[in-house]
Amino acid sequence: RFLNQITHLFVRDNISYSNLQKYDIPPEKCSVICDFAYWLDPLRSQRSMEIVEKLDEFSRGVPLIGIAPGMDLKSSKTEYLMSWCRLIRALYDKGYNIVLIPTSHNPKCLAPPHDKDDYGFCHLINLKLKLDLPIIQTKQLEPEEIIEIMKEFDCTVSARMHGAIFSTLADVPTICIYNEQKGLGLFNTFFNDSVRLYSLEEFLDYNKTHLSLIRDLEELLDVKSPYSETIKNMREASSKRIYDVF
Per-residue pLDDT tens digits of the chain, which is 246 residues long: 777 788 899 999 999 999 888 888 888 889 999 999 999 999 999 999 999 999 999 998 899 999 999 866 566 788 999 999 999 999 999 999 999 999 876 655 445 554 567 888 899 999 999 999 999 999 889 999 999 999 999 999 999 999 999 999 999 999 999 988 888 999 999 998 899 999 999 999 988 899 999 999 999 999 988 999 999 999 999 999 999 999
Helix spans in the chain (H) = 2-5, 14-21, 46-59, 77-93, 118-129, 143-150, 161-169, 181-191, 200-204, 206-220, 228-245
pTM of the model: 0.91
Rounded Cα gap, residues 20 and 223, in angstroms = 36
pLDDT digits (tens, 9 = 90+) for 113-146: 545 678 888 999 999 999 999 999 998 899 999 9
Rounded Cα gap, residues 231 and 115, in angstroms = 32
Nearest to 77 by CA among 126, 131, 129, 114: 114
Long-range pairs, 42-49, Cβ under 8 A, ≥24: 42/144, 42/147, 42/148, 42/151, 42/169, 42/170, 43/142, 43/144, 43/145, 43/147, 43/148, 44/148, 45/142, 45/145, 45/148, 47/140, 47/141, 47/145, 48/141, 48/145, 48/146, 48/148, 48/149, 49/148
The residues, ordered by sequence, that sit 6+ positions from 168 with a Cβ below 8 Å of its Cβ are: 174, 191, 195, 226, 227, 231
What secondary structure letter does DSSP report for 36?
Answer: G
pLDDT digits (tens, 9 = 90+) for 21-55: 888 888 888 999 999 999 999 999 999 999 999 99
